[in-house]
Amino acid sequence: MKKTLLATAIAGAMVASGAQAATVYNQDGTKLDIYGNIQIAVYSIKGGNGEYDTQLTDNGTTFGFAAEHVIYDGLTGYMKLELDDIKADEMKTDIDNDDSGDQAYVGLKGNFGDVKLGSYDTLMDDWIQDPVTNNEGFDVSDSNQYTDSAQETDQLTYVSPSFNGLEMAIGTQFKGDAEAENVANENNASIFGGAKYTAGNFSVAAVYDNLDNYEVKGAGFAADQEWGDRYGITGQYTMDSLRVALKLERFDSAIDDVDSTNYYGLGARYGYGQGDVYAAYQYIDVGGLDFTDTADNALTSGDFPNEDDNESYNEIIVGANYSISDSMYTWAEAAFRDQENDAGDGVGVGVTYMF
């Protein structure tokens, strides 16, 4: 799960104060930090049969290393290695999954901007989706449902310095024909890019992401078909402890008999001193893709409702968290998905300790 504003603020305060966040080396322009968190949660979520399923589970426990080195004045090299698949509820780790969502990258930053290579969140995540909901357990839906964690790997991204508030970004994802997660089974480099403009408390961002590395494969299709493209634009306004964000995101389908899907989202978050309260609403104009079973990308035509099955529905997410200390907080969230048999509705509560 993703960190909340509170979690990010706690981590920032820890680094600034030196409390618990461990700098194990800081000499001759080289710095190495060790950090992490333990996250435990209880969820009760309705399945397609209308029955609640409840579980105590790990909620994204993380252990990581971050380092940087001043090459010369105005140029810094850096790296990050973050393991996200530590299962605190079962005392094990699943780090053998090549596309498990862990982050590992190297980069250079300076007056020219920032260039980064490796595995990390996509530009669509950071600039478009996260401002609306970046919660502990329940987020509004987005075009990530048409991809998988493999999209976060093998990325190269360049972000320009700010020119009077304007930042530009461009990147590529490369998948070679020898890579097991390459569903296209051929060498291919997709492209993504975006722009973000900030003026005072207001910012707006737009992103395009080409999904060329993803093909629909399996029985029921005359030939392998590409997914298509996705686009997004998000505006957000912050004032003191309040943040409001508005999103329009679109999956532009290239799949036969599967229409495109639009996501219209509105999110708000308010810091009340000891934590945050937050909520989001989203209207989804569905193109009709049921993404409930895509094991090994072996999709069949039965996984894709006909375009005549299109519908629209609403989503509501509400939540709050409370800071117990500078390093520990609790949270509670609820989701209402407006689906048949109330599928996807649920509640969750949890606790996070950061070090």
3-state helix, strand, coil in the chain (%, to 5): 10, 55, 35
Question: Residue 191 is encoded by which pair of tokens?
Answer: 């492209």
333-339 average pLDDT score: 93
Nearest to 329 by CA among 255, 253, 271: 271
pLDDT at position 224: 62
Tell me how far apart the alpha carbons of residues 301 and 298 are, in angstroms, rounded to a whole number. 10
Q: What sign does the CA torsion over 123, 228, 290, 285 have? A: positive
290-309 average pLDDT score: 41
Question: Residue 254 is encoded by which pair of tokens?
Answer: 């290239």
25-35 average pLDDT score: 92
pLDDT at position 1: 42
Tell me how far apart the alpha carbons of residues 154 and 136 are, in angstroms, rounded to a whole number. 26
The identity of residue 56, as a single letter, is L
- DSSP code, position 161: P
Three-point CA angle 26, 105, 227, nearest 5°: 160
Predicted model pTM:
0.83
Residue tagged 């390093």 (tokens): 327
Tell me how far apart the alpha carbons of residues 207 and 282 are, in angstroms, rounded to a whole number. 19
Question: Residue 10 is encoded by which pair of tokens?
Answer: 């706690």
Domains, in order of start, for the chain = 5-354 (2.40.160.10)
347 pLDDT above the threshold of 50: yes
328 pLDDT above the threshold of 90: yes
Nearest to 249 by CA among 268, 262, 266: 262
For 302, residues 6+ apart whose C-beta sits below 8 A from its C-beta are 220
Q: Which residues are 159's β-sheet partners?
A: 114, 169
pLDDT at position 225: 67
Nearest to 99 by CA among 146, 148, 155: 148
pLDDT at position 308: 45
Determine the longest span between alpha carbons in the chain, in angstroms: 65
Taking the alpha carbons at both ends of the chain, their separation in whole angstroms is: 17
Question: Quick one: pLDDT band at residue 216, thresholds 50, 70, 90?
Answer: low
Tell me how far apart the alpha carbons of residues 226 and 63 are, in angstroms, rounded to a whole number. 36
Give 97 or 33, the one with higher predicted confidence: 33
Nearest to 276 by CA among 320, 220, 315: 320
Q: What percent of the chain has pLDDT over 90?
A: 56
* H or E segment to which residue 9 belongs: helix 5-17
Question: Quick one: pLDDT band at residue 12, thresholds 50, 70, 90?
Answer: very low
pLDDT at position 242: 97
* H or E segment to which residue 123 belongs: helix 123-123
CB atoms within 10 A of CB 139: 23
Question: Residue 121 is encoded by which pair of tokens?
Answer: 């969140």
pLDDT at position 8: 46
For 197, residues 6+ apart whose C-beta sits below 8 A from its C-beta are 165, 166, 167, 203, 204, 205
The tens digit of pLDDT for each residue in 265-285 reads: 999 999 999 999 999 999 999
